Chains A and B, each alone.
Chain A
């Protein structure tokens, strides 16, 4: 029952706008939590706040007993938490393996980082494109390399920001298998995803945010039956179609 990650009433304010407004939750080792909510609900801002890209206005983030709020992102990464970017923010001047190596340098020397990067690429089935230029990749490939780069920092908590956005159903299944395998190794995830099928299949619990506030949480089944969620989110129709599929 020990919480690996604990967010304690975190808030982010831009000018007068409360992008994240007093959100608290805990994430256990080996758990996958889905973060859902309409566009502009503050999901990406919440991710940025957790990894230190966005300074908190108030609140606290604790990772395995250490307070990480207020640390710079590279320090948070060193403590074991990192994220992927919504629109793959790869280093375009580098090959795939070099992108991943750069992250692996956090815990290894140059030779070790290369080995580590190759392992990670292999795990994600990206070895064939290791030497490719990032500019030549397809969108799904970019998303996977983004994930590989994050994994190369050897995180305990990984925040995935819409890595499946551009994937076909088959590719999505593959990525979900990878995530489940990593979960089995003890890695914890916080996932933002618009595909309800993936969210429902993957997540142990869901957090629902709207206008920066946490409006519901629970198992996927509980959340799907929560009237507040239906009002704020499913009621918009966007997910209604998805629900019909899954």
Chain B
């Protein structure tokens, strides 16, 4: 349990709830109730029923044979790309929408970068007939038009965030402002393991289904529930936290988190937070973030909108600082090449986010026979434009 949150809402030096008083009643209501609600048998029943019948879980753990041959290890892909709406994001939105209902909330807000979390939120709002407002950076609205259309079709109102860099960080600011101005009937579905306590813990719990299933599937397929390596990409870090969750206390399992190096960690266009950042407070928690010496948040860059975030969740900061997790980075180009390789070897077009995790295989050395699990967090349909441009398809 040494990597889990403590009673004060901290993971070692990281976490807490750095929020203005206007947000306190909402966050406190959540803090007092989330564990109780999640533990309730009725909640569990409904949550798992929806994950099974609506999302399509369990997602397969697929032994990728041609990949394995190429890299000389047993490469397993955890197929979150096969979930309804095409990514792991829906695991969390299903959990939070049920929780919001139990809290009697009538209105749902969320932030989104690439639009995956926005679509996953709009989807569950349609499913449960709740009002839905999605904040999205103006820049992202332009580069993710199909997801904007999806959200609108699902009945959500998409509000452009026009401040700052007009991307995920600014959409998050706008969603927080909305919550401040609507303090009673609104629930904010944060899409990653970031934000004030209890969000990082709550989102991690909902995403932990990924590693819970993986352990069972590994045991069936390999005879052991302990792989040698577990890999996942990290923006805020929700798929990685879900993928690491049930392996954190298995100290012999190496956890590798892959950040987006953008055009290179020293290029000035990067989102490699643990490499470029230091400790500070962003979006309600103490963690590691990219900032100037004066404490102003630096604009990140990544070809992948889902990794284009200047911070990481506090639990990741803790795994990084304690050395439990190894945090590495992959450039835009390396990720796109890995995306193509995965498509050609396995017939799976991965999201560019997930392709960052795949790309790190090129940098690993295997003796042969190791078991490696990679979280394929999403499918690449949304990224076709980027792939088309890069490869002149």
Q: Is B one of A's binding partners? A: no
- A residues lining the B interface (CB < 8 Å): none
